[in-house]
Amino acid sequence: MSNFKFKKKYGQNFLQDETVTERIVASINPAKEDLIIEIGPGAGALTKKLKRYDCNVIAFEIDKEVQKYLDPLSNKKTKIIYEDFLTSDVQNRLKEVEFKDLYIIGNLPYYITTPILEKIIDLNLKPKEVVIMVQKDVADRFLAKPQSREYGYMTVLLSLHFNISKIVDVDKRAFKPIPKVDSTVIKFTHKETPDIDYSKFKEFLKDCFRFKRKTLNNNLYDYNRKDLEPILHSREHSLASRAEELNLETFIELSQTALKINGGNPE
């Protein structure tokens, strides 16, 4: 790898630490008939180790210049696709393989963490587990509990679909080149979502967090707030509460009653 030119625009910080790669790969336990999607295999630090599971692997890599490292890893079960995961027709790709459960793994560029998670949710891929490396402060946000500074829109949205846990903190010196920030590997485990109108829930949630420091009374000015009050009171909140104080169940209940009233004026 000595003459490889790392590309900043693709967030190329390759893992050099054997203990960390081992920890990531060992954090999933797929069976032979399962499928692993790897996002951003780079020079194959994780891809190599995924072979031990003897299941199908599809790896999406945006940069063709790593071909010389990755192509030797490809075989009947490990397929490398040189495409941007975000624009790739992933569902079509999945039709090419038969599998039972889906696992997604990746040491991703930090700036595409959220779009990738959104794509996984929006495509309804329903992976059994997703294990990804994220910037440490992003992990803190995803793992945050209500009432904390880090708790926000994305925390709640992700907790609707997954149970989220920390695997390990990773020192920035585990990468080459060394990035500016430390990282954390986190695991998202699939959970059954309640039977709700997802797009309505998402829009309502976004509105609740519109201005983080403002109260629900302000952020929800164009909703039927009077009908939301009893729900809030039954959960020891009020319209004077902020979104960051509410848990997932409260948002779900509120969203099922919330009706947007056009032409409302902020108070």
Contact 128, 122 (CB under 8 A): no
Collapsing DSSP to helix, strand or coil, 206 comes out as helix
Residue 115, CB half-sphere, CA atoms under 13 Å: how many?
Answer: 11
**Considering beta carbons, is residue 74 or 218 the nearer one to ligand SAM?**
74
Task: Please tell me the distance from the alpha carbon of residue 251 to that of residue 161, in angstroms, as a whole number.
Answer: 14
Q: How far is the CB of 54 from ligand SAM (least distance, A)?
A: 20
**Considering beta carbons, is residue 70 or 164 the nearer one to ligand SAM?**
70
**Considering beta carbons, is residue 47 or 159 the nearer one to ligand SAM?**
47
Q: Which residues, in sequence order, are CB contacts of 167 under 8 Å at separation 6+?
A: 23, 24, 27, 131, 184, 185, 186, 187
In 3D space, the residue among 172, 138, 135, 183 whose CA is nearest the CA of residue 158 turns out to be 138
**Considering beta carbons, is residue 30 or 40 the nearer one to ligand SAM?**
40
Contacting positions for ligand SAM (CB under 6 A) = 10-15, 39-43, 45-46, 60-63, 66, 84-86, 107-109, 112
**Considering beta carbons, is residue 60 or 201 the nearer one to ligand SAM?**
60
Q: How far is the CB of 53 from ligand SAM (least distance, A)?
A: 16
Q: Report the residue closest to ligand SAM, judged by CB.
A: 40
Distance of CA 163 to CAs 121, 156, 190, Å? Answer: 14, 11, 7
Q: How far is the CB of 177 from ligand SAM (least distance, A)?
A: 10
Q: How far is the CB of 142 from ligand SAM (least distance, A)?
A: 18
Q: How far is the CB of 38 from ligand SAM (least distance, A)?
A: 7
Task: Please tell me the distance from the alpha carbon of residue 194 to that of residue 36, in angstroms, as a whole number.
Answer: 26
Task: Please tell me the distance from the alpha carbon of residue 105 to that of residue 101, in angstroms, as a whole number.
Answer: 13
Q: How far is the CB of 183 from ligand SAM (least distance, A)?
A: 9
**Considering beta carbons, is residue 13 or 155 the nearer one to ligand SAM?**
13
**DSSP one-letter string for 115-128:** HHHHHHHHTT---S
Which tokens in the block code for residue 39?
Answer: 């996002």
